[in-house]
Amino acid sequence: MNALITHKSNVTDIVLDNLAKALPGIIADALEFPGGRVAIVKPEQVSLEFSQASARDIGADIKIIIFARDIQQRSSMEKDLAEEILNSVVALSSKPGEDYSIDVRLYLMVVGVAEHSLSK
C-alpha cells in the first residue's frame, strides 16, 4: 500500500512531520476490515512518499493519493473511506493560524498476475 503526498512550499515542516507520523496509522485504521489476510492493514505496510509541488501547480496545498488493494468491503465503501481519511488528516493538521487545503484520493487496485506466452 502506497501513499504519495505532494505539498506546496507554504506547508510547514511540522505539518509534514505530523503527517509522516500519523498517516500510516490513519490509513491502516480506515482500510482494515475483518475477514482474511487481504483485509488486514498494519501501519508498517503503508509506504509514504513526499514531494514538493512545483510553483506552477494549482489545486490543494496538500494532495494525498493512496493506492490500496481492492477488496469487496473497501470498494463498496470507497467514498466513505476517503472521507474518513480526509477528516482524520484535517483534524491532524488544523491548528490556529494554519489553513491548508487538502485533497485525498483513494485508488483501489486489483492486484493479480500477468500471463505471458511465447509465440512460435
With 80 as the cut, is the pLDDT of residue 120 above it?
Answer: no
- Helix, strand, or coil here: 69? strand
pLDDT in tens, 29-69: 888 877 666 667 788 888 999 999 998 888 899 999 998 88
**Rounded to 5 degrees, what angle do the CA atoms 49, 79, 81 make?**
60
pLDDT in tens, 64-118: 999 888 888 788 888 899 999 999 998 886 676 678 899 999 998 876 555 566 7
Domain boundaries, given as residue ranges, for the chain = 2-109
Pick from 42, 31, 27: which is nearest to 75 by CA?
31
Q: Does domain 2-109 have CATH number 3.30.429.10?
A: yes
- Check if the beta carbon of residue 61 is closer than 8 Å to that of residue 101: yes
Q: pTM surpassing 0.85?
A: no
Report which DSSP code applies to 59.
S
Beta-carbon count within 10 A of 108 CB: 16
24 grid coordinates: 500510516
